[in-house]
Amino acid sequence: MDGVKSDQIILALDVDTAEEALSWAKRFRGKIGTFKVGLQLYLRNGVDVLTGLQRLEVPVFLDLKFHDIPQTVGQAVRAVSHWAPRFLTVHASGGQEMMESAVSHAAKETSVLGVTLLTSLSEEAVRAGGWKGGVNETVGCLSELARKAGLAGVVCSPHEASKERSAWGAVAEIVTPGVRPPGTLADDQARSKSASEAIDAGASRIVVGRPILKASNPEAVLEAILSGRG
Ligand code: C5P
């Protein structure tokens, strides 16, 4: 299996404080392509974190997964656009018009990505939620809406990466969280694969959080991912 390039890795900064987040970013700056700020960190200390990451001049993935009426999402995207994040997420289930509004309010440096189905949702959970077509059909429909809305790509599980790559063509962003090195804990991820399997399947980037943040030797985990063993 081929290795994974450092630029293809997104580190999920799922920690509580700006200090912790910035120390991870300093530790892995230049070794990991992008640093992801999600709700946990943004709601506690978003301004400090984003200011600090901007000072470190590292690309930021602002993963706030907006989902509301088009006007509200557009204004939310506008409210964060001065940070000029490299990536920003919206829930594709918010509909085409909502996604179009996000794209039209985003900074020019920002690629808006559509979250199809959360990688924590199993087949049963998806059907129980009313998506009677199950994971594959639902991801396919949501992803088509994202394409029509002019998004730069989608977030999906590694299991859907190959189908999504065929649907989107070569240049789109297919970002896959739910990445787990072989033999490690799945945590709450229900549809996971290893990093190199995700890239081989067509992902352009992978999101990794707990496998690095909770490791006794995070550098060794990164090394394993880069060399195709993770
Ligand atoms: O710790 P772990 O590697 O599971 O982290 C995965 C990250 O990716 C989390 O920050 C989570 O919010 C995010 N994510 C996800 N599934 C999606 C979209 C984002 O797990 N569909």
pLDDT tens-digit map of 60-102 = 999 999 999 999 999 999 999 999 999 999 999 999 999 999 9
Q: How far apart are CA 42 and CA 222, in angstroms?
A: 25
The verdict on residue 1 lying in a domain is: no
Dump pLDDT digits (tens) for 110-135. 999 999 999 889 999 999 999 999 99
Q: Is 65 a catalytic residue?
A: yes
Q: Which of 39, 181, 199, 44 is nearest to 118 (CA)?
A: 39
Q: Indicate which residue's Cα is closest to atom 18 of ligand 1.
A: 118
pLDDT for position 139 = 94
Q: How far apart are CA 82 and CA 119, in angstroms?
A: 29
**CB of residue 208 inside a 6 A radius of ligand 1:** yes
Q: What is the mean pLDDT of residues 146-162?
A: 96
Q: pLDDT confidence of 189, banded at 50, 70, 90?
A: confident
> How many independent structural domains does the chain possess?
1
**Is the Cβ–Cβ distance between 155 and 116 less than 8 Å?**
yes
Strands 60-66 and 111-115: unpaired
The verdict on residue 32 lying in a domain is: yes
Of the residues 26, 31, 36, 65, only one is catalytic, namely 65
The verdict on residue 152 lying in a domain is: yes
| pTM higher than the cut 0.85 | yes
Q: pLDDT confidence of 32, banded at 50, 70, 90?
A: very high
pLDDT for position 193 = 86
Q: Ligand 1 centre and the CA of 200: distance in Å?
A: 19
Q: pLDDT confidence of 1, banded at 50, 70, 90?
A: low
The verdict on residue 147 lying in a domain is: yes
The verdict on residue 55 lying in a domain is: yes
Q: Which of 34, 29, 33 is nearest to 6 (CA)?
A: 33
**Is the Cβ–Cβ distance between 88 and 77 less than 8 Å?**
yes
pLDDT for position 3 = 77
Domain hosting residue 20, numbered range:
6-226
Ligand 1 site-directed mutation target among 207, 214, 221, 225, most atoms within 8 Å of CB: 207
**Is the Cβ–Cβ distance between 114 and 89 less than 8 Å?**
yes
Q: Ligand 1 centre and the CA of 206: distance in Å?
A: 10
The CATH number assigned to the domain holding 143 equals: 3.20.20.70
The verdict on residue 83 lying in a domain is: yes
